[in-house]
Amino acid sequence: MLHNSPSLTRLVGELKKLPGIGEKTALRLAFSLLRSRSDINSLAEALLELNSRVRFCSSCFSITEDDPCAICSGERDDSILCVVEEPQDLIAIERSGAFRGRYHVLHGVLSPLSGVAPDDLKIVELLRRLDVLPIKEVLLATNFTVEGEATSLYLSRLLRTRGLKITRLAHGIPIGSDLEFVDSATLQRALQSRNEV
């Protein structure tokens, strides 16, 4: 132990569990905290508060402090349900302001290699909600990764028999992009799905 402090070593160990934080960054964060003692306490309190207050909505499985969450209990379009991988995807879509329907958070994607099977996701819960809610369209907004696409394919096959409209987010050129730097696969999709002006 180079810094003669078991509690510093312990904190560095805890910080290193976080994504994108290695030994050096953890040590830098710890020293930054040591410079303002009151921040250490308020960070610790914020963590404990998060742990005691935040839970998952029993309906859509997004994070919330009140169950059901504000979206599930609010006035929204009941005919469309957006299925996302994680609560942060829901936040991104809400931030866009372009979706007024309901959500369902899967809490992961199918990944046989990591041992994630359909039973590990909130799929049974999704089917149960579709039995109850007057949903007409399911927007599968999983990520455009191999696992995200596979999960989306799995769900579309599963829901096919229910006579629902199944949609995916559109592919295309991101707003503000330089054509020169857009990858060929995206450009290909954008050409295929070109719109009349």
* Contacts to a second copy by CB under 8 A: 2-8, 10-11, 13-15, 17-21, 25, 27-34, 36-37, 39-51, 53-54, 63-65, 69-71, 86-88, 91, 94-95
Min dist. Cβ of residue 103 to a second copy (A):
12
**Which C-beta is closer to a second copy: that of 3 or that of 171?**
3
Q: By C-beta, is 63 or 82 nearer to a second copy?
A: 63
Query: Residue 39 Cβ, how far from a second copy at the closest point, in Å?
Result: 6
Closest separation in Å from C-beta 197 to a second copy: 33
* Nearer Cβ to a second copy (15/82): 15
- 109 burial via Cβ count (<10 Å: 0-12, 13-18, 19+): buried
66 to 17, 45, 54, 71, 78: CA distances (angstroms): 28, 20, 8, 11, 20
Helix (H, G, I), strand (E, B) or coil at 123: helix
Identify which of residues 14 and 78 has a Cβ nearer to a second copy in the complex: 14
Say if residues 108 and 83 touch (Cβ distance below 8 Å).
no
Q: DSSP 3-state assignment of 167?
A: strand
Q: How far is the CB of 153 from a second copy (least distance, A)?
A: 25
In angstroms, how far is CA 71 from the centroid of its own chain?
A: 15
Q: Which is nearer to a second copy, 41 or 193 (CB)?
A: 41
Q: How far is the CB of 69 from a second copy (least distance, A)?
A: 6
Is residue 68 reached through a cis peptide bond, with omega within 30 degrees of 0 on the bond before it? yes
